[in-house]
Structure 1
């Protein structure tokens, strides 16, 4: 491994670009288990990870305009209503340019808030998959789960 490769490997660890991670799911129903598919593609070097994990959360957001004699104020609030984290696989390694896929089953309890979208408020669920690596974990970003 040359100096440039070492610098590139360090940069990938710091930025989270060591692997490209994506997550997909079929439409979900609250209270019914569903599958999440996780895919990771290593970049130019080997990626060692301590675990592969998935986070699922429920979010309620409001966005409204409050008009009064002082003018208009935009009110935005966000509240987490549900959170869970699932370890999909323990420690492992992806070789350079290796593509690997995992599947895990997740269940959002039937007592969790329903998915809705109104004029000023909405409640939805989203998932994020990641590889637990040294430095910044490569992750999929938060992906909204669609209701069946």
Structure 2
């Protein structure tokens, strides 16, 4: 059964449960980010990393007049304004049942957009922590955080 458990963990990313404490951040200033992982199986971690991205979304109401009929629709757009991968720890072994903690530093450039919710345009920041392992990486999932 060990072979199939290992294979399942590689396919699903189930070798560990990962949590990240998402702080509020200020552009141009460093902020500490804490990552915690609990191993569900023994494994080799190539790196512990953070993924950060800023996403701008826009939604505009559009009215079209066609054949004497008026058609209302919403036009939506989305653009990744910033993304980066930050390695916070190198290669190591994890053991089933053990909990591991890492601290990394996140510093966003001073020229990026802050978080905002406008009438038509929003800008949202997200952070994800992950363990670089064979197969699908265990990760925390994307967590929204505020940037000022």
TM-score normalized with structure 1 length: 0.89
What is the CA distance between 1:28 and its match in structure 2? 1.4
2:38 equivalent in structure 1: 41
1:144 equivalent in structure 2: 144
State whether residues 25 and 35 of structure 1, in contact with CA within 8 Å, keep that contact through their aligned partners in structure 2: no
What is the CA distance between 1:88 and its match in structure 2? 0.7
What is the CA distance between 1:80 and its match in structure 2? 1.0
1:89 equivalent in structure 2: 89
Whole-angstrom CA distance in 2 between matches of 1:95 and 1:138: 15
- RMSD of aligned Cα (Å): 1.5
- Residue ranges of structure 2 left out of the alignment (5+ in a row): none
Q: 2:54 aligns with which of 50, 58, 67?
A: 58
Whole-angstrom CA distance in 1 between matches of 2:5 and 2:74: 43
| Matched length | 144
State whether residues 22 and 127 of structure 2, in contact with CA within 8 Å, keep that contact through their aligned partners in structure 1: no
Query: Structure 1 residues 147, 113: CA separation in 2 closer, same or farther (over 3 Å shift)?
Result: closer
TM-score normalized with structure 2 length: 0.89
State whether residues 115 and 122 of structure 2, in contact with CA within 8 Å, keep that contact through their aligned partners in structure 1: yes
- Residue ranges of structure 1 left out of the alignment (5+ in a row): none
State whether residues 32 and 105 of structure 2, in contact with CA within 8 Å, keep that contact through their aligned partners in structure 1: yes
What is the CA distance between 1:126 and its match in structure 2? 1.1
Alignment of 1:20-35 (within 5 A): 20-35=17-32
Whole-angstrom CA distance in 2 between matches of 1:48 and 1:116: 40
Q: Which has the larger radius of gyration?
A: 2
Secondary structure of the corresponding residue to residue 8 of structure 1: helix
Whole-angstrom CA distance in 2 between matches of 1:65 and 1:5: 55
